[in-house]
Amino acid sequence: MSSWTAPAHGRAPLHVVQLLGGGGAGTGPHVRSLSEGLVARGVRVTVGAAPPAERRYRFTTAGARFVPVTARTTFAALGTVAELCADADLVHAHGMRAGLLAALALRRRRTPLVVTWHARSTAPGPRAHARRLIEHGVARAASVVLATTSDLVDRARGRGARDARLAPVALPPCRVPEDGAGGRKLRAELGAVGRPLLVAEAGLDRSQTPGLLLAAAQGWRRRTPQPLLALAGDGPERSALQRRIDREGLPVRLVGRGTGTGALLADADVALLVARWAGRAPLAEEALRRGVPLVATAVGGVPEVVGGAAVLVPYGDPRALGAAVDALLADPDRRAALAVAGRARAATWPTEDTTVAQVLSVYDELTASTAS
């Protein structure tokens, strides 16, 4: 537990600015949870993020002040962030976009900067080079880099971070009806009554991931009963992917991300995490919490997060993915064992309270050294 305590009467409370970039990879729920925990401990919190983030996560109901900030690195955004951080005792940026804005806004200031690395980009070509440059700049500007998985700690150190630490975050569980009625209703709407329901999540874009899932689904057509894959996601290739599904007669239904991972998993038989890189992926965490057997690609921080409580396959191999799902569907005892192992693994993860305590101890360390 942090040694920091609420200020004595007459002293101003610690003011921390939480700066949020794109809000993906569980970042938004983490900042919401962190803000609520900090406010409860007497910290004054200001959250800077795009307006849709406030509508989705309701930072103000957690007791934080909210200031709209675009995630783009423009002069206007830079000015807003500089003004936002003018009286901050510490700035905590989440992700590369937010980290870059904070680093630029705080140059020539002594305000401590904490940057949490929640994810990493897998963009190829010139975008990858630009990303490396940004990572170098953010890593070197940060007083402390908090990384959610060990491979991100290594990446931050390789980019020149002075102080990089492992700091797994607790993602709040999805809330769905406990009686399972929501899951059964959705299952019926999807057409998955009397057949196995598989759940996956992916951006419907030109990346390799949607194609891998559809390629694996080709083999599932031969199973009786034929499983149905509910693929949650949005993107510019949605129409093209739907045409392929229709043309090849694939047992796949495309559902928008707004459907909610928790609702989809409420009555799922197997969850699929297929990604070129992933860390503490919300779908994987929610699947293990709920005891839904998980098949995941062995990339990034996934093996560290799931341990032995999931079936791991290489990325880019639809045959291995399809075979792993086939084996699980044919083996109810294995599915039951994974359900038990998943819940046990989830019980070892940090709680929201321990996450707040760890972050607050870092704040305490940095603000104490600044004051001295």
Give the integer Cα–Cα distance in Å for 112 and 88. 9
Taking alpha carbons only, the member of 139, 329, 142 closest to residue 217 is 329
Give the integer Cα–Cα distance in Å for 219 and 322. 7
Give the integer Cα–Cα distance in Å for 264 and 228. 12
Q: Decide if pLDDT at 372 tops 80.
A: no
Give the integer Cα–Cα distance in Å for 37 and 352. 8
Give the integer Cα–Cα distance in Å for 161 and 144. 8
pLDDT band at 258 (very low <50, low <70, confident <90, very high): low
| Structural tokens at position 290 | 């709920």
Query: For residue range 37-75, what is the model confidence (pLDDT) as tens digits?
Result: 999 999 999 999 999 999 999 999 999 999 999 867 678
- Give φ, ψ of 224 to 5 degrees: -130, 120
- For tokens 């690195």, what's the residue? 73
Regarding predicted confidence, which is higher, 369 or 340?
Answer: 340
Q: Is 188 helix (H, G, I), strand (E, B) or coil?
A: helix
pLDDT band at 357 (very low <50, low <70, confident <90, very high): very high
Compute the half-sphere exposure of residue 173: CA atoms within 13 Å on the CB side of its CA: 18
Taking alpha carbons only, the member of 104, 131, 133 closest to residue 120 is 131
Q: Is 220 helix (H, G, I), strand (E, B) or coil?
A: helix
Question: How much is the pLDDT for 3?
Answer: 41
Q: Decide if pLDDT at 24 tops 90.
A: no
Give the integer Cα–Cα distance in Å for 30 and 24. 10
Q: Decide if pLDDT at 307 tops 90.
A: yes
Query: Rounded to whole angstroms, what are the CA distances from 133 to 34, 97, 100, 153, 370?
Result: 29, 12, 11, 17, 28
Give the integer Cα–Cα distance in Å for 250 and 214. 7
Length of the chain: 372
The terminus-to-terminus CA distance of the chain in angstroms comes to 22
Eight-state DSSP code of residue 280: S
Q: Is 311 helix (H, G, I), strand (E, B) or coil?
A: strand
Eight-state DSSP code of residue 273: E
Give the integer Cα–Cα distance in Å for 137 and 151. 19
Q: Decide if pLDDT at 9 tops 50.
A: no
Query: For residue range 263-289, what is the model confidence (pLDDT) as tens digits?
Result: 889 889 999 999 999 988 889 999 999
- For tokens 């693929």, what's the residue? 231
Give the integer Cα–Cα distance in Å for 3 and 114. 18
| Structural tokens at position 167 | 């700091």
* Run of H or E including 91: strand 90-94
Q: Decide if pLDDT at 320 tops 90.
A: yes
Q: What integer is the mean pLDDT of 246-256? A: 95
Give the integer Cα–Cα distance in Å for 49 and 88. 16
- For tokens 């975050």, what's the residue? 169
pLDDT band at 1 (very low <50, low <70, confident <90, very high): very low
What's the predicted TM-score (pTM) here? 0.87
Q: Decide if pLDDT at 94 tops 80.
A: yes
Give the integer Cα–Cα distance in Å for 102 and 111. 10
pLDDT band at 180 (very low <50, low <70, confident <90, very high): low
Question: How much is the pLDDT for 206?
Answer: 86
Q: Decide if pLDDT at 296 tops 80.
A: yes
Name the packing angle between helices 332-346 and 282-290 (round to 10°). 110
